[in-house]
Amino acid sequence: MGFEKITLEHKRQVLEELADIKALFASRNWFPGTSGNLSMRVGEFDPEQFYFAVTASGKDKSLRTPEDFLFVDKHGKAIETTTLKPSAETLIHCEIYRLTGCGAVFHVHTVFNNLISEFFGAEGSVPIQGIELIKAFNIWEENAEIRVPVLPNFADIPSIAELVPGVLDPKVPGILLRNHGIYAWGKDAFEAKRHLEAFEFLFEVMYRQLLLKGASK
């Protein structure tokens, strides 16, 4: 389906939902120093042709303005004439949509995701086992283990994007960039938010466990 066939009402709903999520995450200090970016697909997913709304680059994400988002195509190029620049990391969003067909991708920089990504960076993934909140990823086995991939934080975003297919695990809706932040996604904004919150909780638990273990008898 072409972009012009997608109803204005649907596009407006998506922008409103994204703006609400952006405000909520900003209230949690999840966009320090203009970091972070959010996106949500509009219309049906077709690997050959899909569109999403993404945050404009470099904005103060704690503000709500008419210039916060723009629509891009599957290559991350603006579809409408605009002076806004899509997020510098849009290509990573493109790759996640292409590979998963998801409906929303959220990226935040937090202290816990930075610390954990560095601690396990050399291993290439963060092992998480036996913590209840793994169930937020729809994994219900007893004592389940997941590994959250950690990619190097190259300055060149296309070089990061091309590593995504090699590490993406369909059971794990997130990828860390070392000393940078996390990308989490879901079939819609509700699910992407649940996944992101679960990752952040798990990273905080792991960080505190590591400290406690260091302090144990």
Please check if 107 is assigned to a binding site.
yes
Residue 203 CB, nearest approach to Zn ion (Å): 16
Residue 37 CB, nearest approach to ligand MRU (Å): 4
Q: How many CA atoms lie within 13 A of 207 on its CB side?
A: 15
Residue 134 CA to residue 128 CA, distance in Å, equals 8
* Sign, Cα dihedral of 105, 79, 14, 48: negative
| Cβ 164 vs Cβ 151: under 8 Å | yes
Residue 77 CA to residue 173 CA, distance in Å, equals 24
Residue 89 lies near ligand MRU (rule: CB under 6 A): yes
Which of these ranges, 10-18, 50-58, 115-123, 196-204, lies near ligand MRU under the rule CB under 6 A?
50-58
Q: Which of 35, 62, 100, 179 binds ligand MRU (CB under 6 A)?
A: 35
Residue 179 lies near ligand MRU (rule: CB under 6 A): no
Our CB check for ligand MRU shows the closer of 35 and 62 to be 35
Residue 48 CB, nearest approach to ligand MRU (Å): 26
DSSP letters spanning 78-147 = BSS--S--B-TTHHHHHHHHHHH--SEEEEE--HHHHHHHHHTGGGTEEEEES-GGGGGGT--STT-EEE
Using the structure block, give the residue that is written with the tokens 């407006």: 12
Our CB check for ligand MRU shows the closer of 84 and 131 to be 84
Our CB check for ligand MRU shows the closer of 92 and 172 to be 92
Residue 109 CA to residue 206 CA, distance in Å, equals 17
Residue 109 CB, nearest approach to Zn ion (Å): 6
Contacted by 34, from Zn ion, ligand MRU, none: CB < 5 to 8 Å by type: ligand MRU
Our CB check for ligand MRU shows the closer of 22 and 107 to be 107
Our CB check for ligand MRU shows the closer of 146 and 151 to be 151
Which strands, in side-by-side order, build the sheet including 37-42?
69-72, 51-55, 37-42, 104-108, 181-186, 174-177, 145-151, 125-129
Q: Mark the binding-site residues, compressed into ranges.
A: 107, 109
By the criterion CB under 6 A, which residues form the site for ligand MRU?
Answer: 33-37, 55, 57-58, 87-89, 107
Q: Mark the binding-site residues for Zn(2+), compressed into ranges.
A: 107, 109
By the criterion CB under 5 A, which residues form the site for Zn ion?
Answer: 181
